[in-house]
C-alpha cells in the first residue's frame, strides 16, 4: 500500500445534544484508499478498577466515517474515556484518546418541540418524542390577569395529551420544558404558544 | 423524577430501569454458571425488614463489596461471555450510587450502623464459606435480588 505508518486520527471531540452523543474526529487521508476506524470506551469503573480494559463501541468497531454515535455506550452518568484508531488492511494506527473524558451530564438540552391542537373545546398537546430518558414539564394557563398556572408531567413524547377544557373566547397558553432523570437536569422552557377556541394559534 | 432514598441518603442520576435492562441482558448466561442451588448469599436475614436508617449503611457496604470484590473478580468472565457492555453499565451505575451515598458517622447512629454491619457480615461470611470462583459467580447472579431490594427505596 505504500503506507509505512498510518497516522492516528486527530481532533477527537464529542457533540452531545438531548442525550444523543456523537464522537467525531478528523479523517485520516490516504489517497485512493478506504480507511476504517475502531472506537473503544472506558467508564469510570474500568479506568478505576481495570485500566487495561477497553470496550469496543456498539456501532463503530469498525466504521468508515469519521464519526460514531456512542449514545448506546454511555449508560451511566460517569466520565467516559474514548479512543479511536485507523486501520488500512493490516496496518493500524496508534490510538488517539479524547483529551477530556465525556460525561453525559454535559449534554445540551434544548426546549422540546410541541404541537398544540384544539379538539372542540379541548386543549391537546403533542410533544416531540425524544426517547425514554425524557419527561416533560408542561405549564398551561388561561391568559387573563391573575390566572393560575397549571402543571402536568408527561412521561413520554409522541402521543397526544389532553390538558384542559377551554372556555370559549378565552386564550389558553402553554409552555414546556424537558427533564432528564439520568442526569437530574431540565431544559429551558419552550416558546409560549396560545390558542383561542375560535382563533388560530397566537404566537406571543 | 425518580431517585433512590436510602433513609437520609439521596441518590439522583441513576435510572433503575437501565440497571434492570443491563442485568436482564445477561441474567440467563450468568445464573446458568451457578451450580450451588442450596445457598443464597443475599438471604432473608440480610435484606428483610431493613429500616430506612439502616439502609444507607447496608447499601454502601454491599455496593463497595460488589465493586471491589465481585465485579473485579467476575470481569474476565464478562469478557469470556461477551457481556462486557451490560457488565460495564451495572458497574458504572453502582459507582454513581456509591459516590452519592454519605452514611452518617455520628455517634447516635452507632446501633443502627452496627445492625447494618451485622447484616452485611452475614452476607460476607456466606460468601467466604464458598469456593472463591463459585462465590463470585453466585454473588453476581444475585444482582437481581439486590436490585429488587433497592427498588423498595426508589421513589
B12 and A184 within 8 Å at the Cβ level: the answer is: yes
**Blockwise average pLDDT, block size 10, chain A, 204 residues:** 80 98 97 95 95 94 94 96 96 96 97 93 94 95 92 94 90 95 94 81 52
- For B88, the closest of A55, A179, A182 (CB atoms) is A55
pLDDT at A87: 96
Which pTM does this prediction carry? 0.89
Joined grid coordinates for residue A113:
418541540
What letter does residue A9 receive in the DSSP assignment? P
In chain B, beta strands by DSSP E:
4-6, 9-11
Mean pLDDT on B127-154? 96
B2 and A43 within 8 Å at the Cβ level: the answer is: no
pLDDT at A182: 92
Mean pLDDT on B129-133? 95
Residue with cell 379541548: A122
pLDDT at A3: 59
CA-based torsion, B47, B53, B55, B60: positive or negative:
negative
Q: Give the Cβ contact number of residue B38 at 10 Å.
A: 4
User: What is the greatest pairwise CA distance in chain A?
Assistant: 77
A183 touches chain B (CB under 8 A): yes
Joined grid coordinates for residue A32:
485512493
Which is more confidently placed, B79 or A197?
Answer: B79
Give backbone dihedrals phi and psi of B124, rounded to 5 degrees, phi first.
Answer: -65, -40
Give the HSE-up count for residue A120: Cα atoms under 13 Å, Cβ half-sphere: 4
Chain A CB contacts of B79 below 8 Å: 53
A45 and B85 within 8 Å at the Cβ level: the answer is: no
pLDDT at B108: 86
B73 — pLDDT class (breaks 50, 70, 90): very high
Q: Which residue of B has its CA nearest to A75?
A: B89
B59 — pLDDT class (breaks 50, 70, 90): very high
B88 and A43 within 8 Å at the Cβ level: the answer is: yes
Residue partners of A187: CB distance under 8 A and separation at least 6: A109, A110, A111, A112, A177, A178
B1 and A48 within 8 Å at the Cβ level: the answer is: no
Mean pLDDT on B42-59? 95
From the candidates A53, A76, A131, which should be mutated to test the interface with B, based on the most B CB atoms within 10 A? A76
Mean pLDDT on B67-84? 94
- The three-point CA angle A159-B13-A109 to 5° equals 55
- For A78, the closest of B2, B18, B92 (CB atoms) is B92
Amino acid at each position: 500500500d505504500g503506507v509505512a505508518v498510518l497516522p492516528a486520527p486527530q481532533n477527537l471531540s464529542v457533540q452531545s445534544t438531548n442525550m444523543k452523543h456523537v464522537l467525531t474526529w478528523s479523517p485520516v487521508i490516504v489517497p485512493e484508499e478506504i480507511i476504517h476506524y475502531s472506537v473503544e470506551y472506558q467508564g469510570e469503573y474500568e479506568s478505576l478498577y481495570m485500566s487495561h480494559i477497553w470496550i469496543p463501541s456498539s456501532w463503530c468497531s469498525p466504521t468508515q466515517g469519521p464519526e460514531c454515535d456512542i449514545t448506546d455506550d454511555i449508560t451511566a452518568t460517569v466520565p467516559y474515556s474514548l479512543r479511536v484508531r485507523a486501520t488500512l488492511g493490516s496496518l493500524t494506527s496508534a490510538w488517539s484518546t479524547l483529551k477530556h473524558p465525556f460525561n453525559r451530564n454535559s449534554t445540551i438540552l434544548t426546549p422540546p418541540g410541541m404541537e398544540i391542537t384544539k379538539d372542540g373545546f379541548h386543549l391537546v398537546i403533542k410533544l416531540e418524542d425524544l426517547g425514554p430518558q425524557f419527561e416533560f414539564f408542561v405549564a398551561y394557563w388561561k391568559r387573563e390577569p391573575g390566572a393560575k398556572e397549571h402543571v402536568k408531567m408527561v412521561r413520554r413524547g409522541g402521543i397526544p395529551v389532553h390538558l384542559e377544557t377551554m372556555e370559549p373566547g378565552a386564550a389558553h397558553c402553554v409552555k414546556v420544558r424537558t427533564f432528564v432523570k439520568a442526569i437530574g437536569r431540565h431544559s429551558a422552557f419552550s416558546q409560549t404558544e396560545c390558542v383561542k377556541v375560535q382563533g388560530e394559534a397566537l404566537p406571543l | 423524577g425518580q431517585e433512590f432514598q436510602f433513609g437520609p441518603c439521596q441518590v439522583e442520576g441513576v435510572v433503575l430501569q437501565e440497571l434492570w435492562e443491563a442485568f436482564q441482558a445477561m441474567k440467563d448466561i450468568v445464573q446458568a454458571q451457578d451450580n450451588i442451588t442450596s445457598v443464597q448469599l443475599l438471604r432473608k436475614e440480610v435484606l428483610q425488614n431493613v429500616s430506612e436508617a439502616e439502609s444507607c449503611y447496608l447499601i454502601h457496604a454491599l455496593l463497595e463489596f460488589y465493586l471491589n470484590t465481585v465485579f473485579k473478580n467476575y470481569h474476565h468472565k464478562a469478557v469470556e461471555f461477551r457481556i462486557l457492555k451490560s457488565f460495564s453499565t451495572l458497574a458504572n451505575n453502582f459507582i454513581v450510587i456509591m459516590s452519592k451515598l454519605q452514611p452518617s458517622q455520628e455517634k447516635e447512629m452507632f446501633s443502627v450502623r452496627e445492625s447494618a454491619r451485622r447484616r452485611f457480615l452475614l452476607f460476607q461470611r456466606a460468601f467466604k464459606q464458598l469456593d472463591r470462583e463459585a462465590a463470585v459467580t453466585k454473588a453476581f447472579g444475585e444482582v437481581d435480588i439486590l436490585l429488587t431490594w433497592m427498588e423498595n427505596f426508589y421513589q
